[in-house]
Amino acid sequence: MLQLGSQIAQFNFGSGGSECAKCQSPQPTKTLQDFLLHARQLAGLKKEHVFCNLRIPNQFQTAKDDINIVIITGQGIFCIDLKCWRGTVSAQNQNWHVQVKEQDQNFTNTCIEQVEDALKAITTKTANLCHHLKKSGVSVRQNLFFSRVVFLSPDCELDEELKKRKELVSHGQIDAFLGSFREGYMAWISDALTPSWLSGHLSYKQMEAVREVLRRVGTWDVVRLHCGEQLRGDYQGCQYIALNRQETDTLEFSRGKSLSAYSLWALLGHTPQVTVKMYKRGAHGWLGKPLSATTTIPSNTNVIFRIGGEETDAKIPANTIHSITLSI
C-alpha cells in the first residue's frame, strides 16, 4: 500500500464527478497531495497514521473500491473521499446533481451533471473496510468508523439539505475538521492509561493491528509511458515476463538504443528488443534497489493492463512503456 507522501497522491481523485463540475476554477483547488500536507501541518498527523488510495474489496470479494484517505487516530478510523467539484451540489433521488453556471457578457450558461451519491459511496466503502479488518482478525466496533466527504474547491456549495449532514465537509470547514484530529498531551496520557472498553477510543494495540492490515492492502498499479503520461489500474501480465508480485515492485523498460537507431533496426527487418529489469520489493541498498531478474522481450510485445474504470483490458506496446510500479 502507499502511505502519505507517495507518488500515487498525484492522481485524479474526483472520479465519478462531471466534466463541467471539474472545469477550470478561477480560484485554485487543492490537490490530494496539498490536502495531505495541510493535514499533517494542521492536525499534527504522523505519516504512519495516514494511508492513501486503499483499494478495499467488497464483502463479496468481487470488486474493489478505493478510499482516497484513511486516517487512524485514538478517536477512530476516518474514511475520507475528496471531491474537487465546483458548482452547487444537491441530492436528487438516488443520485446527486452538480450545477455550474458560466457567466458571459451576453448570457449565462447552466450545466447540470448527474453524479453518484458520494456520501452513500463512502459509507459503503467504510463498511467494506470494517468487514475487511474483521476478516483479517482485527475487530473494531462499528461506531469507531467515520465516513467523510471533503469538498476541496472554494467554488463548491452544498444545498441546504446537504449542509445538514455532518459527514460532508465543505471548503470552509476543512481547517476545523482537520483541527479536530489534534490531540492534546492530557488526551494522550488518558488514552495510554485508560482501557479502550472504558474510554470508547481505539487502544494503541488496536491501532497498530489496523495499521498492520492496511499496510498489506493494495492500491493501484501505475504504468509510466515514455511520453510522460501515467496510467493507473491493474497489471494483468505479459507473455514473456514471469514475476512474483509479492517479491517485485518495479519493472523498468529500456529500449537500449537511441530512437533513430531503434527505428533503423526496425526498417532493416530486425525486431528491436526491450530490456526489462525487475526490482525487489521493499529492498534498498547503497547503490539503489537490487535487481531480482532481467529479461529481453520483442519491442512489439503487448503488456496487458486494465485501466481503472475501464471494462476491458488495454494492450500497451512494451516499447512505449518507461516503467510499471506494482502494488501489493
Q: What are the pLDDT digits (tens) for 146-196?
A: 999 999 999 999 999 999 999 999 999 999 999 988 875 456 566 656 666
Q: Is the pLDDT of residue 88 over 70?
A: yes
% of the chain exceeding 70 in pLDDT:
79
pLDDT(109) > 90 = no
Write out the E strands in 19-121. Answer: 50-57, 64-73, 76-83, 87-92, 95-103, 108-115
Residue 165: per-residue pLDDT: 96
Pairwise CA distance, residues 188 & 143, whole Å: 21
Give percent helix, percent strand, percent coil of the chain, each to the nearest 5: 30, 35, 35
Alpha-carbon gap, residue 201 to 194, rounded angstroms: 9
In the numeric block, which cell numbers belong to residue 291?
535487481
Higher pLDDT, 101 or 85: 85
Give the predicted TM-score (pTM) of the model: 0.75
Q: How confident is the model at residue 5 (pLDDT cuts 50, 70, 90)?
A: very low
Q: What is the mean pLDDT of residues 42-68?
A: 88
Predicted local confidence at residue 213, as pLDDT: 95
Question: Residue 223 burial (CB < 10 Å; 0-12/13-18/19+)?
Answer: buried
How does residue 102 score in pLDDT terms, banded at 50, 70 and 90? confident
Least confident of 78-82, 204-208, 256-260: 256-260
Residue labelled with grid coordinates 471533503: 150
Identify the bridge partners of residue 274 per DSSP, sorted by sequence position.
Answer: 297
Distance CA 296, CA 275 (A): 4
- The pLDDT of residue 53 is above 70: yes
Contact 85, 23 (CB under 8 A): no
